[in-house]
Amino acid sequence: MRISGGAARGVPLQVPKGDVTRPATDGMRQAVFSSLAARLPGAHFADLFAGSGAYGLEAFSRGAEGGVFVEKNPKAAACIRKNITAVAKSAGRGSDTLRLQPVDVLTWAPAAGGPPDLVFIDPPYEIIAEVGLGLFSRMADWWPAEADPVVVFEMPGELTLEPRGWTCVKRLGKGARQPTVAFYRRASLA
């Protein structure tokens, strides 16, 4: 698995051995970031259930200012640390705007510095039905009314999430048991 575009294009990413993570495919990330291109320059992101950090690092490589990776698994967190160093070096940028928070996503909230512009959520598929709507409910309180964040949520094709206060404005991928990505905006701004 590699960074697919931007200043760090081609940099290989470390992935924990075993079934600790299910990394987003290069093709899916390319499609996601093609859709987000105009929103990336200067953006701040949160990569929840970060795994290898692929979504956030791809955003950083393509111009995002920085962000936070939230991952409680120690093996995955160790890979993210290595990946941050490699991608920042290759991009010719410091890593001081990238932070790893080794905590449970379900208890995490943005720091006082402000909420992210982009949120990437790529949870283990088996917990989406249990935690998906609750995550959206918690996120609703992160932003002021006029903010227009985008939430990028990876899920299997047979699943649909319709969180209150959010609208799915685009979905990439298709097919049952195949990865898809849904783009959500707040309903009042979609």
Beta-ladder partners of 99: 68
Residue 73 vs residues 15, 49, 76, 117: alpha-carbon distances, Å: 12, 9, 5, 25
Element (H, E) at 179: strand 179-186
Answer yes or no: are the C-beta atoms of 14 and 39 closer than 8 Å: no
- Triad 128, 131, 134: Cα angle to 5°: 135
Answer yes or no: are the C-beta atoms of 46 and 67 closer than 8 Å: yes
CB count within 10 Å of CB 16 equals 19
Q: Mind listing the pLDDT tens digit for each residue in 131-148?
A: 999 999 989 889 888 889
Give every strand in the sheet of 98-101, ordered side by side. Answer: 98-101, 66-70, 44-48, 118-121, 150-156, 179-186, 166-172
Q: Mind listing the pLDDT tens digit for each residue in 36-63?
A: 999 999 999 999 999 999 999 999 999 9
Residue 150 vs residues 14, 22, 45, 102, 177: alpha-carbon distances, Å: 27, 22, 10, 23, 24
pLDDT at 20 over 70: no
Answer yes or no: are the C-beta atoms of 180 and 32 closer than 8 Å: no
Q: Under CATH, domain 26-186 is a member of which superfamily?
A: Vaccinia Virus protein VP39 (3.40.50.150)
Q: Mind listing the pLDDT tens digit for each residue in 84-135?
A: 999 999 999 999 999 999 999 999 999 866 789 999 999 998 999 999 999 9
Kindly tell me the burial class for residue 185, based on how many C-beta atoms sit within 10 Å of its own C-beta (0-12, 13-18, 19 or more): middle
